[in-house]
Amino acid sequence: MSLKFRKLDSSDIDFALKVTETEKWYLSEEDISFYLDNRGATGIVALESSRPVGFATSVIYQHTAWIGNVIVAPEARNRGVGKQLVSELMEMLRREGIGNYHLYAYDRSRTLYERLGFRFDAAIWEIAILGGRRKSDEADMSLYRGYTDGVDKFDRTYFRESREHVLKFASSRRNSTLVYHRDSDGMVDGYYIENYVDESYGSEVAPFISRKDALETLLSEVMGRAGILHLYVPQQNIGKVEDFAIPFQLVRRIHRGFLGRNEYLPELNGDVISAGFLETG
């Protein structure tokens, strides 16, 4: 099929919302607009006869781009559109000086990325937990709400590059809350962002990064939230959830892939519970 490509713009929002609904990604207009209005993010659209048939996005950090939201309209699938989308997006990023790429892939799309040269180094499970199980009703004075520079500094110890622009956006969304924990020296040693979607789906809790001393407090806080909670847990850290006797259901497996230099080490010291966000597909 003959395709043309251009950068994602505001005229594509309705298409993006409709096509992502086919996969139940629950992206909002606010989420799509992030890729239009932020210098640290971008997107690309595939057009067939001037009609959009797919799109993909990328969040850009200092030296690395995270590719996500790679999706093709149902009527255009199985014709190589996804592979062309990712190739065109990487070429656009290369022209901007970005040569390292990371992504999350579902089982069904892993082969596509391997053909493009991606290697995979970790399995991550989406798990669903029923909230409303707070261990104590007492307020914990070590917990705070809202973005602070200390959150970005702590996050960088795991992700190696600043995600400040993404953290600020993710925590400022209409239905989102950032909760962080300070140690006895006043330093941030754990945080999570909860984004409420709707009553049937519940909330996505990601990222969720914590050192051991703050983990129980943060888990207790997030478990106090009503409804279903979705977390993305590295396979080797599933035991950390089990240690707290939290019942959960495995939803689906996701693979973390990279092309180029790989300095992304979110399981450093085994502290990370839930790593990614704004990266789907």
Residue 119 lies in a domain: no
- CA distance readout (Å), 209 to 60, 106, 121, 189: 20, 22, 19, 8
Query: What is the reported pLDDT for 268?
Result: 47
Q: Is residue 186 part of a domain?
A: yes
HSE-CB of 99 using CA atoms within 13 angstroms: 3
Same domain as 56, residue 165: no
How far apart are alpha carbons 71 and 258 in whole angstroms? 19
Question: What confidence tier does 244 reach under pLDDT thresholds 50, 70, 90?
Answer: confident
pTM: 0.89
Same domain? For 26 and 146 the reply is no
User: What pLDDT score does 226 carry?
Assistant: 76
Are 43 and 131 in a shared domain? Answer: no
Pick from 1-15, 148-162, 176-190, 258-272: least confident: 258-272
Residue 39's identity, in one-letter code, is R
> Are 21 and 155 in a shared domain?
no
Do 237 and 130 fall into the same domain?
A: yes
Q: Average pLDDT over the chain, rounded to whole?
A: 88
The structure tokens listed for 237 are: 């850290």
Domain count, the chain: 2
Kindly report, residue by residue over 67-93, the tens digit of the pLDDT: 999 999 999 999 999 999 999 999 999
The pLDDT assigned to 25 comes to 87
d(CA 143, CA 47): 47
Same domain (yes/no): 167, 129: yes
Does the residue 37 lie in any domain?
yes
Is the link from the previous residue into 207 a cis peptide, with omega within 30 of 0? yes
Give yes or no for residue 19 having a pLDDT over 70.
yes
CATH code of residue 20: 3.40.630.30
Q: Can you give the pLDDT at residue 236?
A: 80
Q: Which domain holds residue 44?
A: 4-98
Same domain, 246 and 134: yes
* Residue 74 phi, psi (nearest 5): -50, -40
Lowest mean pLDDT among 142-151, 180-189, 253-262: 253-262
70 lies in some domain:
yes
Query: In this structure, is residue 8 part of a structural domain?
Result: yes
CA-closest candidate to residue 228, choices 132, 117, 124: 132
